[in-house]
Amino acid sequence: MNLFELGNLSFLATAVASILSVVLLVAISQQLWTLRWSVTRDKDSDLPLPKGSMGWPVVGETLDWLFQGSNFHVTRREKYGSVFKTHLLGKPVIRVTGAENIRKILMGEHSLVCTQWPQSTRIILGPHTLANSVGELHKRKRKILAHAFSHVAFETYLPRLQDVIKREVAKWCSEPGSIDVYAATKALTFRIAVQVLLGLDAPDAQMDYLSKTFEQLTDNLFSLPIDVSFSGLRKGMNARDILHNVIEKMIEEKLQKQWNGYNDAFDYILRSAKENHNDITLQELKETAVELIFAAHATTASASTSLILLLLLHPSVAQKSRGEIESSELGHTGKVGPSYQLPHLTLEKLSRMRYLDCVVKEVLRLFPPVSGGYRTVLKTFELDGFQIPKGWSVMYSIRDTHETAPVYQCPEQFDPERFGPERDEASRGGRFSYVPFGGGVRGCVGKELAQVIIKTLAAELLATADWRMATKKPPRMQTVPVVHPVNGLHVHFNYRHP
């Protein structure tokens, strides 16, 4: 054997040894990582930790979660059961499915659990928001915000809300090409939040810029809590700062102007705070404004997109909904084209659309915009024979619960009739079999407004427009950070011909 061959063998042996060392190091690191979380179990409880995997050191299973979407939870639920452990976004998490399990978590707020958004979300939204408040502070803020989400406030918002929707639908119908519905509904719900809820006006160019900036904020709400250049957290913080600066100028201009006869959410909030002898700082107003936009933006756009997609896939449901609108004396007025309009709506008129209400509920059951909610465990408790240890995070799954609740007949099918008076499946299954807006003291304060927005958009579209898919197949749906179509939902809109 010559020196060249000996050298090759030596190099090969060194390479193999290096690879084996790396593999061994990785294996040991993963074992230590798993052990690190095993020792955090509550020693005072005889119950075991839930089954599951903690993934890789530091990152856990975050990358799998981001890339696999809903399949991540489905495969692990099938492997480990309705209660399993994992590690996401820098925290150990126990994921929970099932109405009874969810009931225990949501009704255990302040005793067993407390609200816990991912650290990145808390940092970006800020400390003065309702989402980041706990205890008495949360109760006080919720009481103040309740005035902005009352029926009296909705009646005030509705004419302006319908006008904003009417203008956007007109743009969609006037576009010669296809519309990306998800992008369009995000722009629409952002405009609704800014113009209807905040009562703030801005030129179209600035509104588009702010909408894209806000999208950058929401895209990075659920990111690793690492504050370095080009990180998701830093991008989200930069977007927030831009929005705060613009909103501050808008608020100052608004407070200097005379009242224009329109009460927006800010007016109700400021009046309620004054009645309750609470002062609100400018920083609180800015964070509240961003939170209001957040509450009305991505989730409502997600549900609106799902609604349009499901009506496309189920034309008989669209036709029945359209027939209800026409029979309830809410049919179109005017001619084909921009004057082909739905009469002005009221809450009473919307309440008459019972079947459309079932359609919206079924959309939210099949495609709940948010897949679940996070809580921090304050006191070790039991679920399905496992301990849920103090200090860990627990995430209740809305989507999985809707899919697996035994009360629903053929849960994979889009069937609005399940919410009709003859079947009313959700009511028979108990209040926690249907939780698109969460529940308990942390239930979504804006859930009724979201349904008013979605129902108004549906009524306006059904009465005045026809639409068809621009692609051969419906898009695949992604679930992070909210349910939305991968690569958009591309649709052609046209005015209806009577």
pLDDT in tens for each of the 498 residues of the chain? 555 555 555 666 666 666 766 656 666 666 677 777 777 788 889 999 999 988 888 788 888 887 887 788 889 999 999 999 998 877 889 999 999 999 999 999 889 998 877 788 889 998 888 888 887 888 888 888 888 899 999 999 999 999 999 999 999 999 999 999 999 999 999 999 999 988 887 788 888 899 999 989 988 987 888 888 889 999 999 999 999 998 888 888 777 776 667 788 888 888 888 777 777 888 988 998 898 888 778 899 999 999 999 999 999 999 999 999 888 766 555 554 554 578 889 999 999 999 999 999 999 999 999 888 889 999 999 999 999 999 999 999 999 999 999 999 999 999 999 999 998 888 887 789 999 998 888 888 889 999 999 999 999 999 999 999 999 999 999 887 789 999 999 999 999 875
Structural domains for the chain: 135-374+446-495 (1.10.630.10)
Question: Residue 453 and residue 458: Cα distance in Å, rounded?
Answer: 9
Record the pTM.
Answer: 0.86
Task: Using the structure block, give the residue that is written with the tokens 């659990």.
Answer: 113
Peptide linkage before 416 cis (omega within 30 of 0): no
